[in-house]
Amino acid sequence: MIRTIVVCEAQVPFVHGGAELHVRGLVAELRRHGYRAERVSMPFKWYPKEALLAHAAAWRMVDLSESNGESIDLVIATKFPTYFVRHPNKVTWLFHQYRAIYDLCGTVYSEFDQTEPDVRLRDTLMRLDREMLGESARLFSNARNTAARLARYNGLTAEPLYHPPPLAGKLRAGPLGDYVLSVGRLETVKRVDLIVGALAHADRSVRLIVVGEGPLRRPLEEQAADIGVADRVTWAGGVDQQQLVDLYAGALAVVFPPYDEDYGYITLEAFLARKPVVTTTDAGGPLEFVENAVTGLVTDPRSEALGAAISRLAADRRLAASLGDAGYDRARSITWEGVVERLVADP
């Protein structure tokens, strides 16, 4: 019988994004279900590229079969490189691999290209991924998009397990406001630049509130100034949970156009606040929930198209409300109960 569980986390110091919230949510739910659960975390740095092998080796050296003389019944690995950990009953709930060596390779979102050293390192990491993930007693993913990538590149099959977003149970609906909301890290793959650019093509009555911090804050501010929309953008930075709940409640819509996102809990948070989501045809995970003209609007990944979608919602608030209501019906069916049951089930 499983009693003690360790959840493994690789974290970039001072960065607290979706994956970190995901791990903490899982630990809390395991404890709520009566298990003795603990989080084991190691710092992660992806540069220089050779550091990836060192971090993988560090996790491989960790033996979590027992602690202080007491057996640990189950280890749950999450993202790269936590699944390198050693344990006789290792289950992986894959949030994501190191995507820069997979589907992002050769794009502007990856530091890897087709040079001989990069190809050699990439091949080594992909081979090791197959071996380490293949050790899992059971293999799950956080979304169909993640599972599809795993099958394509590694030949492994994972069962998708959706989990509720961090603010589930706290979100509430509110009147449709005069702003659209962006939530997430300000980094290239989240494509907040598309949202800023969309303002120039949207109804001038609509504002944008950007929640999140990251390395692109200054370039995004400069972009807003250059295209003449700086007076319509509020940079909220990091906000507490109550502030974020209030911002969701008062938004007209949530605009979320990442590039091939694995899951994107922001979609579900928007739905639980009865807000429609505007996303793009190449967003990945959000498309598992956003159906065009049913729970949101799906456009080409261009600022002009996003701007037109925003204007459509601003002009037809009855449509915006109906899309948000349909999203709510979709999101409320996702609970932790089934997730915990599958993760701790006997092989």
CB neighbours of residue 117 within 10 Å: 11
Per-residue pLDDT of the chain (347 residues; tens, 9 = 90+): 889 999 999 988 887 777 888 899 999 999 999 999 999 999 999 999 989 999 999 999 999 999 888 899 999 999 999 999 999 999 999 998 999 999 999 899 999 988 999 999 999 999 999 999 999 999 999 999 999 999 999 999 999 999 999 899 999 999 999 999 999 999 999 999 999 999 999 999 999 999 999 999 999 999 999 999 999 999 999 999 999 999 999 999 999 999 999 888 899 999 999 999 999 999 999 999 999 999 999 999 999 999 999 999 999 999 999 999 999 999 999 999 889 999 998 76
Whether the CB-CB separation of 230 and 221 falls below 8 Å is answered with: yes
Give the start-to-end residue ranges of the domains of the chain: 4-161, 179-331
> CA 344 to CA 347: how far, in whole Å?
9
Buried b (16+ CB within 10 A) or exposed e, 298-317: bbebebebbbbbbbbbbeee
Q: Do domains 4-161 and 179-331 have the same CATH topology?
A: yes
The length of the chain in residues reads 347
Please report the pLDDT score of residue 90 as a whole number.
97
Q: Given this structure, which CATH class describes domain 4-161? A: alpha beta
* Parallel/antiparallel/unpaired status of strands 296-299 and 90-94: unpaired
Question: Tokens in use for 165?
Answer: 């977003």
Q: 105: Cβ–Cβ under 8 A, 6 or more apart, which residues?
A: 112, 113, 122
Cβ proximity of 40 and 7 under 8 Å: yes
Residue written as token pair 């019906």: 329
CATH entry, 179-331, from 3.40.50.980, 3.10.20.600, 3.40.50.2000, 3.30.1960.10: 3.40.50.2000
Q: What is the pLDDT of residue 347?
A: 65
What pLDDT digit, counting tens, does each position of 182-201 carry?
999 999 999 999 999 999 99
Sign of CA dihedral 306, 309, 314, 315: positive
Q: Is the peptide bond before 81 cis (omega within 30 degrees of 0)?
A: yes
Determine the pLDDT at residue 195.
98
Query: Please, which residues bridge with residue 237 across strands?
Result: 211
Residue 207 dihedral angles phi and psi, to the nearest 5°? -105, 170
257 alpha carbon, distance to own chain's centre: 12
Positive/negative CA dihedral, 108, 110, 111, 113: negative
Q: How far apart are CA 52 and CA 81, in angstroms?
A: 8
